[in-house]
Amino acid sequence: MEPVSIRLKRYFLAVRRRLLAVALGFAIAGALGVAAVNVYGVVRPASPSRELTVYKGGDPFWSDDEQLGLRMNPNEHLLHKKFVRQKLYTSAVYHTGPGGWRVTVPESPADAETFAMFAPCSFTFGEGVNDGETLPSQFARIVAGEKIAVYNYGVCGWGPNNLLALLTDPRFPAGLRERRGVLVYSFIDEHIDRAVLRRSFLEGNAPVRNPYYVVTKDNRVRRVGLANAAHPPYAGMTYSLLNGLGLIGTLFPDWPIRNADRDLRFTARIIAESAAEFRNRFDAQAFVLVFFPSCKTTKTLGPLLERQGIRCLDYTELAPFDANTDAVYFLPDGHPSPVAHRLVAEKLAVDLAQLGLIP
């Protein structure tokens, strides 16, 4: 009979061989999985958004900014054409004024006593439409003769973080002459992704850097610099490894997979900080948030904003989706058409007047 020591040695050798075989199997399976994921990422059908192509021509229009992340250059113009499946669907020319913000048409009256400031993103800027077709411009025509100056502070890709960075910028409000007015925040669902700096937003806007804020343990909002796709706020060893293998980008359209309740609360907090900064700078003036047509987070985010003291206007049903009319309200890339901007401007002028915020 074999000694116990020899039997134990033989047993452990057998176990080691099995463990090595299992480890090798996992390694091979993992390698095949990574290869399959990357092959799928190459051969899968392109999404409709990838069938969009863009032509830009004219002056150097955008530039990086250490405070704002991205801003537009003063006194420039840009010809912007967009195609879907090589078919032109919009051709627009953008102009900026001396302050670097898009011009409104008609110009503000020289004797204006109050202002209406629109912010923060491409829906306000008017991507895909000409200067006179934007939301601020169409609003300016409606209130013409009321001594209201209208300013377009929209920048493509901006969100709650950029607006807070603007309102805390020592350069602001250069160019804004009036001291009384209202800030109209055009909200879309993607602003939640921009507030929490989700992966898809950072990579879609690379290499632009975006203002990064956190809520500290003592419940204060603090800025901690700029983040971009190369240095996202959630990056760590595991994330970098999986992203390097191509797993995250292919398996998950976003990371984290979806917005949580804390993301909604954080977005509401950042917007509330912007409202407080605006009121402090302009002697407790009005800050109004408009849930733009097509928003789906009104019922979840709206109560959070109202608890923060934000006045909200729900325009989600103003331009309802319909297979026959959607082309009228929205461009193929999802941005509002001139018709949608006009509907919002007309409704907004009535509502602000009823609230006593404009004549």
- Are residue 323 and residue 212 in the same domain, yes or no? yes
- Are residue 65 and residue 144 in the same domain, yes or no? yes
In this structure, is residue 251 part of a structural domain?
Answer: yes
Give me the pLDDT at residue 46, please. Answer: 44
In this structure, is residue 127 part of a structural domain?
Answer: yes
Give me the pLDDT at residue 351, please. Answer: 97
- Are residue 20 and residue 61 in the same domain, yes or no? no
- Are residue 15 and residue 121 in the same domain, yes or no? no
Structural domain range at position 61: 48-354
- Are residue 264 and residue 320 in the same domain, yes or no? yes
pTM of the model: 0.82
Give me the pLDDT at residue 285, please. Answer: 81
In this structure, is residue 314 part of a structural domain?
Answer: yes
Work out how many domains the chain is built from and give that number.
Answer: 2
- 86-110 burial: b if 16+ Cβ within 10 Å, else e: eeebbebebbbbebbbbbbbeebbe
Give me the pLDDT at residue 44, please. Answer: 43
- Are residue 31 and residue 177 in the same domain, yes or no? no
Q: What is the pLDDT along the chain (359 residues), one digit of tens a residue?
A: 556 666 666 666 666 667 666 677 776 766 665 555 444 444 444 444 456 777 777 778 999 999 999 999 999 999 999 998 888 989 999 999 999 999 999 988 889 999 999 999 999 999 999 999 999 999 999 999 899 999 999 999 999 999 999 999 999 987 888 889 999 999 999 999 999 998 888 888 888 899 999 999 999 999 999 998 878 887 776 666 666 666 666 666 565 566 788 999 999 999 999 999 999 988 768 999 999 998 999 999 999 999 999 999 999 999 876 667 667 899 988 999 999 999 999 999 999 999 999 88
In this structure, is residue 184 part of a structural domain?
Answer: yes
In this structure, is residue 15 part of a structural domain?
Answer: yes
Give me the pLDDT at residue 251, please. Answer: 61
In this structure, is residue 60 part of a structural domain?
Answer: yes
Give me the pLDDT at residue 43, please. Answer: 42
- Are residue 193 and residue 233 in the same domain, yes or no? yes
Give me the pLDDT at residue 45, please. Answer: 44
In this structure, is residue 359 part of a structural domain?
Answer: no
The CATH number of whichever domain residue 170 belongs to comes to: 3.40.50.1110
